[in-house]
């Protein structure tokens, strides 16, 4: 199954159950417009209603995403360039949606990921970066603060000192350094990015879906929970998963020394 529009292309492999969503404004480094946000939301609706069990987000051309397309904002004298409204209407819902998704979400970052584009990548569960990839918190260069979750996501990935340095300078962070700092899961040759991301997504799509969703939730909850709260959460989730079909199948497969056949139940 596939669909495409002017700025978003997506397809769902019915065999692997992997959805691939491509930001497709290569002439503008896939920077966001309001129309692109609307198309992206509709694509995610279709993917979430499908049988997809993993999602890869990537960009077309020589970049992942350069953030907000400033040409889509009105800077004429007296015009209301209400950035807060734009963030509330488009960027924040997208970040919340990706973080809350039941699917494991992989960002396959090719080339530049700047501003909200860098933070879109961090809103995904895992980042696989091409060696040409770079991450830039470009906001300070136009007098803004990192948004789209940047001030929350970045220090949790790289630590406060490095996050502060990246945000205050707006310096470019290369893929290899991003990997060393824990920002990305893996760095691969540019020519291998698509296949490596697809292989990882296929692996995740074969995992027990309820456990995948629960792992995502538990790890994110742990950022704000006390140890006692987190221990209770783990107990409660484990109790629920212990009654699932896939837990029984996983145990049976282990005892029978065969590959499990998880059904997401």
What per-residue confidence (pLDDT) applies to 1? 46
How far apart, in whole angstroms, are the C-alpha atoms of residue 120 and residue 123? 5
What per-residue confidence (pLDDT) applies to 181? 98
What per-residue confidence (pLDDT) applies to 78? 53
pTM for the complete prediction?
0.92
Closest CA to 43 of 77, 81, 13, 5: 5
CA distances from 210 to 25, 133, 262 (A): 34, 32, 10
Residue 17: left if φ>0, alpha if ψ -120 to 50, beta else—which one?
Answer: left
How far apart, in whole angstroms, are the C-alpha atoms of residue 240 and residue 242? 5
Helix 92-100 to helix 116-123 angle, to the nearest 10 degrees?
A: 20
CATH superfamily, domain at 2-205: 2-enoyl-CoA Hydratase; Chain A, domain 1 (3.90.226.10)
Tokens 């502060």 correspond to 164
Task: Encode pLDDT of 86-143 as tens digits.
Answer: 999 999 999 999 999 999 999 999 999 999 999 999 999 999 999 999 999 999 999 9
Mean pLDDT of the chain: 94
Alpha helices in the chain (DSSP H): 34-49, 83-86, 92-100, 116-123, 150-158, 160-169, 175-180, 193-205, 209-221, 227-241, 245-256
Domain edges within the chain: 2-205, 209-256
Asked whether the predicted pLDDT for residue 2 surpasses 90, the reply is no
83 pLDDT tier (thresholds 50, 70, 90): confident
């Amino acid at each position: 199954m596939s669909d495409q529009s002017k700025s978003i292309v997506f397809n769902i492999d019915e065999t692997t159950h992997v959805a691939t969503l491509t930001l497709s404004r290569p002439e503008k480094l896939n920077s966001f417009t309001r129309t692109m946000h609307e198309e992206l939301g509709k694509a995610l609706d279709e993917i979430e209603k499908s049988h997809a069990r993993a999602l890869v987000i990537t960009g077309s051309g020589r970049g992942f995403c350069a953030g907000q397309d400033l040409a889509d904002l009105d800077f004429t004298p007296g015009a209301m360039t209400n950035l807060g409204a734009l963030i509330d209407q488009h960027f924040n819902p997208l970040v919340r949606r990706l973080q809350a998704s039941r699917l494991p979400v992989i960002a396959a970052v090719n080339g530049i990921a700047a501003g909200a584009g860098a933070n879109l990548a961090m809103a995904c569960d895992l980042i696989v970066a091409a060696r040409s990839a770079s991450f830039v918190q470009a906001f300070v260069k136009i007098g803004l603060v990192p948004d789209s979750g940047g001030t929350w996501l970045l220090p949790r990935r790289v630590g406060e000192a490095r996050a502060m340095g990246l945000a205050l300078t707006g310096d470019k962070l290369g893929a290899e350094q991003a990997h060393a700092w824990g920002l990305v899961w893996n760095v691969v040759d540019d020519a291998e990015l698509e296949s490596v991301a697809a292989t990882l997504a296929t692996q995740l799509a074969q995992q027990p879906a309820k456990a995948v969703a629960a792992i995502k939730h538990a790890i994110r909850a742990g950022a704000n929970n006390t140890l006692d709260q987190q221990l209770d959460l783990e107990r409660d989730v484990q109790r629920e998963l212990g009654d699932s079909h896939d837990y029984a199948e996983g145990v049976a497969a282990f005892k029978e020394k065969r590959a499990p056949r998880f059904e997401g139940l």
